Amino acid sequence: MPYARMNLSSIREIPVIEVATRLGIQVRGTKAMCFSGHDKNSPSLSFHKAHNTWRCFGACGKHGDTIALVMEKEGVDFKSAVEWLAQNFAIDVEPGRRGQRRQTRSCITKKSTIMAAPLPESEYIADPELYAWFISKCDLVTSAAGIKYLDSHGISSETAQRFNIRQLSKPGYALQKLVETWGEQRVCSSGIAWCKDGHADRLIWNSYALLFPFYNDGQITYIQARMIGGDKKFLNLRGIVKPLFNIDRLSGLQPGHTVHLCEGVPDAIALESQNLIGIGILGATSFRAEWVDRFLKFRVIVLGDGDQAGAKFASDISRFFMERGKPVQCMSLPKGKDVADVLAQGGSAK
C-alpha cells in the first residue's frame, strides 16, 4: 500500500461522523455511546462537526481526529489507522506503483515518524462535564441587582429556576476552583477563561454576572453570561460554536406546534414564562443551515426586535427556511422593544 503518497489532510477531512459509523459506532445526531464501554445510560461520545473532532466526556476522556478515532476504537497504530481510512473512504493512493514497493516502504517510515507527532487539534472544545460542574457550584440568583435584571425582563424566580440561571459572584475564586478540579489545560480549551501560554489568567466573566446554561440532550453544551456589574453586556465562551438556546424544548412537542425563534436568551425565557415556545439564537450569523431540520414539523415564527437590527435578524433567519421551502412567519415587535419588554409590560407577542 503506497501509504506515503496518501494525502493525510484528506484523511483528516473525512467527516468524523461517517468514520464513526463505518467503525460500527451508532451515532445519533452528534452523540454516541462511548466505544470504551463505560456508558450505561447516556452517551458520552460527542462529535464536533465544524472541527471534525470527537471527544468522550465520560470516564475515558479520549479525544482526537479521524485517525485517532480509528486508532482508539480498533486498537491499531497510526499507520494502520491511516491505511484503514484510505481503504474505506477511497482516498486516492496513486495505484500502479507496486513494482517499487521497497522504495515506497522506506518513505512510509520516514513520513510516519513525522506524522506521528501529536495531532493538531482545535484549541477549543465544548466541555459539558466541566460546564455542568461549574454551574452546579454557582448559586441561584439572590443578589438585588440580579433579581432586578430578571424582573425587568419578565423572568419570574420560578422560570429562573426552571432554566437553572445562576449568579457568579467571585470570578477569581471560581477560576481557582476550576483549575484545581479540571486542570489548566482543560479549563483553557473549554473557552471559559482567558489563557496565555497555557496558563489560565482570568475567567471570561470577571465581575458579577448571571449565567445561562444551554442544554442539549440534557447536557450543558454552552454558557452565556449577562454581566451586571461593570460593562452591562453579554459575554460568550471563547472559541466555542454558539448553539441554540432551549433546543431541548422541541423534543416531545407535537407536529404543528408554534415555535418562536428569537434573538438571544432572555427573549426565549420571557416567551417561555408566558407558556410560549421560545428558542434563542445568538445572532443571525451563528445560525447554521442544518438546524432548519429541527423545525420542519413545527409552525415557525421568527421574532425580531422593533429596530433595524431586529428586522435584519428576522429576514436573515427566514432566508435559511425559505431555501428549504419551509414557510415561516416574521414578526417584529413595536419600535424599540424586544420580546422581553413587551411581555414584561403584560403585552403579548402573538
Looking at the Cβ atoms of 61 and 334, the one nearer to Zn ion is 61
Residue 27 CB, nearest distance to Zn ion (Å)? 14
Residue 177 CB, nearest distance to Zn ion (Å)? 25
Q: Which stretch binds Zn ion (CB under 5 A): 53-61, 174-182, 219-227, 272-280?
A: 53-61
Looking at the Cβ atoms of 45 and 259, the one nearer to Zn ion is 45
Q: Which stretch binds Zn ion (CB under 5 A): 50-58, 153-161, 270-278, 308-316?
A: 50-58
Residue 59 CB, nearest distance to Zn ion (Å)? 6
In the sheet with 209-216, reading across from the earlier edge strand, the strands are 139-140, 166-168, 209-216, 219-227, 234-236
Query: Which residue has 423534543 as its cell numbers?
Result: 251
AA identity, residue 118: P
| 175 lies in the site for Zn ion, by CB under 5 A | no
Residue 130 CB, nearest distance to Zn ion (Å)? 15
| 32 lies in the site for Zn ion, by CB under 5 A | no
| 36 lies in the site for Zn ion, by CB under 5 A | yes
Task: Using the Cα atoms of residue 332, residue 336, residue 338 and residue 341 in order, give the sign of their dihedral.
Answer: negative
Distances from the Cα of 101 to the Cαs of 68, 88, 116, 217, 342, in angstroms?
26, 21, 22, 50, 74
| 34 lies in the site for Zn ion, by CB under 5 A | yes
What mask of x and - would describe binding to Zn ion in positions 56 to 95, judged by CB under 5 A? x-x-x-----------------------------------
AA identity, residue 143: S
Residue 57 CB, nearest distance to Zn ion (Å)? 8
| 154 lies in the site for Zn ion, by CB under 5 A | no
Residue 73 CB, nearest distance to Zn ion (Å)? 11
Does residue 276 sit in helix, strand or coil?
coil
Distances from the Cα of 309 to the Cαs of 279, 327, 332, 336, 341, in angstroms?
18, 22, 11, 10, 16
How many other C-beta atoms can be found within 10 angstroms of the C-beta atom of residue 233? 8
The CA distance from 193 to 196, in Å, is 10
Catalog residues that contact Zn ion under the rule CB under 5 A. Answer: 34, 36, 56, 58, 60
